[in-house]
Amino acid sequence: MNRRVIIGAAAALVLVLGVGWYLWRQHGADNPDAPFSLSGNVDVHQVELAFRVTGRIADMKAQEGDKVAAGATLATLDFVPFATDVASATADVAQAQAQLDKTLRGYRVEEIAQARDTVAQRAADLENARVTLQRQQALVASGLVTHQQIDDAAARVRMSNAQLAGARDQLSLQLHGSRIEDIAAQEALLASARARLQKAQTALADATLLAPSAGIISVRARENGAIVQAGQTVYTLTLNEPVWIRAYVPQPRLGRIKPGMVVKVSTDSMPGRQYEGTVGFISPDAEFTPKTVQTEQVRDDLVYRIRVIASDPDNVFRQGMPVTVLVPAAAVPAQKR
């Protein structure tokens, strides 16, 4: 009989515990304004560093594990091909500039004087051809000049007249200078040459690989002498500042989290030590708890991803490290009297 009583009491206790657990899951066993904790991980932020140009690596300056500052030189390519391109483009710019200056300046004084002399010579030739024609026309009646000679003399007059007109046009062209279209064409050639020079200078600058920000070299993928294509990874840089922590807030707790609020962050590697953090981002989209995050909630519950920016004065946080985010108790508003 006692055994049956014990079994019945145990069953009743299990039932009570089960109902209590269910009610806790449905309504929350703790005070909604009480502090609570979230499980999360330190976010992994890495940058694949590569040259923007193709070339042969001349010097790899960083090793795996090295701490580098923003702007530090990590690697360089052989500069010779890029410097040659810059020199060639510089010469093209100088040539285009000289041609434009010549076009803008127009013809020299000596060239204009030469054109004037040509006009005078053509005018004299025309006058001589006209006199010859008049003399031969006067001798036609006496039979001393044939009609063929008259025709030849008239042709020379027309030819001299055309040559004089061409010489005058050439002089007028030189006096007016270069055409607007010719100047525009030379300016376009100069702009194209300058663009090629800038491109060559950019390629020369891209032959030096710089750290975009401070971090730690986690992977050294190439060695000196290797031929690398543009965009091919040379280093992997792990960014450790700022420390970003990814955590997930259950839907019932979402109202307790506000951007900019101060939280505490702890890790198993530093027992009893808490670090200050600030909520920097709350995802607007609901999702299911990732399997990599272990919380006390059922994994099927809807959660919202948040980002916490944490301070790390002891340099203890590592990429992917599990951490606990401690959310303080909600401030109780003062009651109106």
CATH class of domain segment(s) 47-78+207-238: mainly beta
pLDDT of residue 116: 78
Question: Which of the residue ranges 9-13, 53-57, 107-111, 176-180 would you say has the lowest mean pLDDT?
Answer: 9-13
Domain ranges of the chain: 1-30, 47-78+207-238, 85-202
Least confident of 40-44, 85-89, 147-151, 157-161: 147-151
Task: Report pLDDT for 299.
Answer: 46
* Average pLDDT value for residue range 153-170: 84
- pTM for the model stands at 0.60
The distance from CA 79 to its chain's CA centroid, rounded to whole angstroms, is: 22
Cβ(257)–Cβ(281) below 8 Å: no
- Is pLDDT above 60 for 139? yes
Whether the pLDDT of residue 171 is over 50: the answer is yes
Asked if the model's pLDDT at residue 231 lies above 90, the reply is yes
**DSSP state string for 176-188:** H-S-HHHHHHHHH
Mean pLDDT for the stretch of residues 41-69? 93
Question: What are phi and psi for residue 77, nearest 5 degrees?
Answer: -95, 170
The sheet carrying 208-210 orders its strands as 208-210, 73-77, 55-60, 227-228
Percent of the chain clearing pLDDT 70 (strictly above):
79
What value, to the nearest 5°, has the Cα angle with vertex 35 and ends 277 and 284? Answer: 60
pLDDT in tens, 281-296: 888 876 665 555 545 4
Average pLDDT, integer, range 291-315: 70
Instruction: Locate 145 and state its tokens.
Output: 């000049």
